[in-house]
Amino acid sequence: MENTNIRTIVVTGGTKGLGRAISEAFGGRGWRVLVCSRTPADLEQAEQEWAVQFPDAQLLTFPADVSKKAEVMDFVQFIRQHTERVEVLVNNAGVFIPGQVTQESDGVLETLMETNLYSAYHLTRGVLPLMGAGSHLFNMCSVASLMAYPNGGSYSISKHALLGFTKALREELKPVGVKVTAVLPGATWSDSWAGVELPEERLMQATDIAKMIWAAYDLSESAVVEELLIRPQLGDL
């Protein structure tokens, strides 16, 4: 029988960057953490590292390319097999492809929408039956959800759409007590910035975002952070 005292968080793209930091912020507090990644080797490495860093935490991993609906639904089945309730869902997985709308290769918009929006749509619909009053949904949007910027192209389109999806969910889920937060981070150190020669203090740390997500979750039932906008101290890049 499931231990109902253990709270559960689901994080997509949970092996690197923001997803990894968020997973550790909750797992380090004794939560059961279910993550997916499209790279099995990354999942295996995460399991090995967690066994050392968080021996008392429960990390459950599943290989899935969230741009594919069938694999998202397989992940949903995996979640349902391992828990009867999800307290926190973080739709974090995403992809960035720079370019201009007028110059992008054919198929870029589809790729970005499937990964950055449709994945969150399908996973949320699949997991919501396991969520109830007091649970919390976080969608990893972006400052690109608020404003277009040069070379943002279809990435900005997909992130604007994700913010719209988040706002719709907020209105729909108010009556049942499920909180919904749009997370809107600026430039944060991750694999997307690999090889860029910038001083470390110029970008935010993934742990900064994770700390704020925990803080947003750890409020009274009567309060919700609807939008969490976080930028580097020196401004956007």
Q: CATH number for the domain including 195? A: 3.40.50.720
**Total domains in the fold of the chain:** 1
- Check pLDDT > 60 for residue 2: no
How far apart (Å, rounded) are the C-alpha atoms in residues 37 and 41? 9
Residue 223, domain extent: 8-230
- Check pLDDT > 70 for residue 174: yes
Q: What is the pLDDT of residue 149?
A: 85
Question: Do 127 and 62 meet the contact criterion of CB atoms below 8 Å apart?
Answer: no
Question: Do 224 and 138 meet the contact criterion of CB atoms below 8 Å apart?
Answer: no
Residue 20 lies in a domain: yes
Which 8-state DSSP code applies to residue 60?
E
Question: In which order are the strands placed within the sheet that holds 58-63?
Answer: 58-63, 32-37, 8-12, 88-91, 136-140, 179-185, 227-230
How far apart (Å, rounded) are the C-alpha atoms in residues 53 and 33? 14
**Mean pLDDT (the chain, rounded):** 93
Give the Å distances, CA to CA, from 32 to 35, 68, 159, 214.
Answer: 10, 25, 28, 15
How far apart (Å, rounded) are the C-alpha atoms in residues 205 and 190? 8
pTM of the model: 0.94
Range name among 6-20, 103-117, 194-208 with the lowest pLDDT average: 194-208
Q: How confident is the model at residue 1 (pLDDT cuts 50, 70, 90)?
A: very low
How far apart (Å, rounded) are the C-alpha atoms in residues 137 and 175? 14
Residue 34 lies in a domain: yes
Q: What is the pLDDT of residue 222?
A: 96
Mean pLDDT, residues 139-151 taken together = 93
Residue 235 lies in a domain: no
Residue 49 lies in a domain: yes
- Check pLDDT > 70 for residue 53: yes
Residue 1 lies in a domain: no
Residue 116 lies in a domain: yes
Instruction: Summarize pLDDT for 181-200 with one digit per residue, the tens.
Output: 999 999 887 766 656 677 77
Mean pLDDT, residues 171-182 taken together = 98
Mean pLDDT, residues 42-51 taken together = 95
How would you class 73 by CB atoms within 10 Å of its CB: exposed for 0-12, middle for 13-18, buried for 19 or more?
A: middle
Residue 125 lies in a domain: yes
Residue 236 lies in a domain: no
Instruction: Summarize pLDDT for 115-142 with one digit per residue, the tens.
Output: 999 999 999 999 999 999 999 999 999 9
Q: Which helix (H) or strand (E) holds 124?
A: helix 119-127
- Check pLDDT > 70 for residue 232: yes
